[in-house]
Amino acid sequence: MADFSAIATQFVSHYYTTFDADRTQLAALYREGSMLTFQSSQSLGAASIAEKLANLPFQKVKHQIGALDAQPTPTGGIVILVTGHLLVDEEQNPLAYSQFFHLAQDAAQSWFVQNDIFLLA
């Protein structure tokens, strides 16, 4: 998988663009067995994760990626660590965050998020 780095960069760009434009659309990136841990709050499965993301306590949000590194896994997945800042609503001070994604491919070879851990720094 020589292009894991390109897939990771493309995925993360798509993820945050979607998050900032209409985060209800992120449901399409998760599957039944996907896990999200958001500031230690755990959600299992696309429906539950979509509900968690939709109900986060802000309307407007803008992510700015600081750094990103990725690696392949022995089972054909890709693990990604992202650090960055986000601005919510009318807040002037960006919040530093870290996010981890484990991407896997479904039967149709589409990439989806198997594991997702988000922490404010």
Residue 48 sits in the site that holds a copy of itself (CB under 8 A): no
3-class state of residue 5 by DSSP: helix
Contact set for a copy of itself, span 72-111 (CB under 8 A): 72-75, 79, 81, 83, 96, 98-100, 102, 104
Binding mask 56-75 for a copy of itself (x = CB under 8 A): ----------xx-xxxxxxx
Cα–Cα nearest to 78, from 112, 119, 36: 112
The CB-of-15 to a copy of itself minimum distance in angstroms stands at 16
Vertex 114: Cα angle to 108 and 119 (nearest 5)? 150
Q: How far apart are CA 113 and CA 53, in angstroms?
A: 14
Residue 115 sits in the site that holds a copy of itself (CB under 8 A): yes
User: According to the 3-state scheme, what is the secondary structure of 11-61?
Assistant: HHHHHHHHHHHHHHHHHHHEEEEEEEEECCEEEECHHHHHHHHHCCCCCCE
The CB-of-105 to a copy of itself minimum distance in angstroms stands at 12
Stretch of 17-25, 29-37, 52-60, 105-113 lying at the interface with a copy of itself (CB under 8 A): 29-37
* Residue ranges that bind a copy of itself, judged by CB under 8 A: 33, 35, 37, 40, 66-67, 69-75, 79, 81, 83, 96, 98-100, 102, 104, 114-115, 117, 119, 121
